[in-house]
Amino acid sequence: MPKVKTIFQCQACGYISPKWLGRCPDCGAWNSLVEEKREIVGRQSSLISCKSKSEPQPLSEVKRQSEQRMSTEMKELDRVLGGGVVHGSVVLIGGDPGIGKSTLLLQAMAGLCKKYGKVLYVSGEESSEQIKIRADRLSVNSEEIILLSETSVEGIINTASKIIPKVMVIDSVQTVYTEGLVSAPGSVSQVREAAAKLMFFAKKSDIPVFLVGHVTKEGAIAGPRVLEHIVDTVLYFEGNGGHSYRILRTVKNRFGSANEIGIFEMSDSGLLEVDNPSELFLLERPLNVSGSVVVASLEGTRPLMVEIQSLVSQTNFGMPRRTSIGVDFNRVNLLVAVLEKRVGLHLGGMDIFVNVVGGLRIIEPAVDLGIIIAISSSLKDTPVDPKIFVFGEVGLSGEIRAVTQAEARIKEASKIGFKKAVMSAGNSENIKNDFGLEITGVQNVEDCLEAVFS
């Protein structure tokens, strides 16, 4: 008889305690410890008798197989994956409920099965009829897509070994369970164990597996970071309530760049790829209004023109409010301090709001210059020439620093009709091709404001 032990495991970080605690001592989450049962099978003895299956080998003798990738026929998804689906890889797609994870994967499967043959779609959440309704909406109808309603990992692997699909989808990893554990599906130990088994299966059979993962209120994939360590690639599917755009963002990728994004639009008949996101994000840009400027930002390998807006208004009472949406709040505070100290703008008694249009989130420092100009433009109530775009990092002493891939940014801007670029002198000096644009290099914030507002 295997011994069953009761443990309490934190559902946020996986910490194990022999007794219940109100707060996890490891990650600090409140009320996150849940009782789980764990069978103790003679692990140690099996460890001793275990023989290593692979022989040690010098690096120079390792044969490299040419990395084979399968195309999903969705250019955006392929790019985010690093150029297609890698054989034997495990990809985790996280996102809020209803954001379109199942839709994305069903469309990807439809693309894959056309070229490569059978795919297996395992759903623990929806019945086959529900998937059929979605497939009809997406005009997907193929006998190569095999549906399976199953929640036991052993059952899934068993079926997959018989069918031998080209790709497999598990929707979602929180609904599957492994028979070896007694705890409930969705608990940390189940999710981890199930994912590990699927990972093992993927590596052994060379079948790529897509796992759908739910996201907790805090935005992490539920059941939890341990899952992100196990898989090869982690993608987040994000969207903004009121917008129909969806952004697929790489968080981790063993087979490609880790800060790539793909942009989709949710329509009546599924997800459409957005080929030209810069145009989309600048579509409703107000011209000749103060507080708005366009930044040439870079998301992974792709340049993206985005509008930064700011509103500066007199504080009515008490503490001035500072709000930022889409850019780092502390970064905005820092840039406000630079404007006060280095340029002498009076922002102390002002409420300052900064927003990135289109529900985008930009993390790279090249957006600094845009924030500074948007704030100054709103404070002075002077519009920025709509043909100008900017990019550059701002340092604490007010200097403007060079950023990477200046030419790629300029090229993108010239494609959609911008005429003037303001950037750091460091960048402007090294530009070989200006794509017919007027380029101004600036040393510090004061020069920059002069170049934009003169």
Footprint of ligand TYD on this chain (CB under 6 A)?
95, 97-103, 134, 137-138, 266, 268-270
Choosing among ligand TYD, Mg ion, none, which partner's interface includes residue 100 (Cβ < 5 to 8 Å by kind)? ligand TYD
Provide the minimum distance between the beta carbon of 167 and ligand TYD in the complex, in angstroms, as a whole number: 17
Residue whose CB is less far from ligand TYD, 269 or 315? 269
Question: What, of Mg ion, ligand TYD, none, does residue 242 touch, CB below 5 to 8 Å by kind?
Answer: none
Query: Near Mg ion by CB under 5 A, which window of 39-47, 101-109, 235-243, 429-437?
Result: 101-109
Shortest CB 217 distance to ligand TYD, Å: 16
Q: Are 427 and 399 in contact (CB under 8 A)?
A: no
Among ligand TYD, Mg ion, none, what does residue 266 contact (CB within 5–8 Å per kind)? ligand TYD
By CB under 5 A, tell whether 324 contacts Mg ion.
no
Q: Which is nearer to Mg ion, 102 or 183 (CB)?
A: 102
Judged by beta carbon, residue 161 or residue 269, the one nearer ligand TYD is: 269
Residue 95 contact partner, candidates ligand TYD, Mg ion, none, CB within 5 to 8 A by sort of partner? ligand TYD
Give the shortest CB-80-to-Mg ion separation in angstroms: 19
Nearer CB in complex with ligand TYD: 126/351: 126
Q: Would you say 235 or 394 has its CB closer to Mg ion?
A: 235
Q: State in angstroms the smallest separation of the CB of 291 from ligand TYD.
A: 33
Is residue 290 a contact residue for Mg ion (CB under 5 A)? no
Closest CB to Mg ion among 102 and 292? 102
Q: Is 102 in the site for Mg ion (CB under 5 A)?
A: yes
Smallest separation, CB 173 to Mg ion (Å): 12
From Mg ion, ligand TYD, none, interface partner of 61 (C-beta below 5 to 8 A by class): none
* Minimum distance from residue 63 beta carbon to ligand TYD (Å): 40
The interface partner of residue 269, options being Mg ion, ligand TYD, none and the CB cut-off 5 to 8 Å by kind, is ligand TYD
Closer CB to ligand TYD, 139 or 454, in the complex: 139
Residues that bind Mg ion (CB under 5 A): 102
